Amino acid sequence: MPDKKPPVHTVPNPDGGWNNKQGGKIVSRADTKAEAQRKGREKAKKDGTEHRIHNKDGKIANSNSYGNDPNPPKDKK
């Protein structure tokens, strides 16, 4: 069974702009949140993992799964 990649987190950079982090390492940077989200989504899809998008205050605002979802929706409507 292949190793599961850690989730990609789109987080604010304290020095300005936004970072995408995976396993505690910065995997990409962007000037805008929208651009960082796009890059983070691409990385999460490529790795088949979760993409967690944070607000400026650091709290998770949104989460998307691009692989084996640990919490799939109960209703299939």
pLDDT tens, residue by residue, 3-57: 689 999 999 999 999 999 999 999 999 999 999 999 999 999 999 999 999 999 9
pLDDT(66) > 70: yes
Q: Exposed, middle or buried: residue 26 (CB in 10 Å: 0-12, 13-18, 19+)? A: exposed
pTM here is 0.84
The span from the CA of 76 to the CA of 73, in Å, is: 7
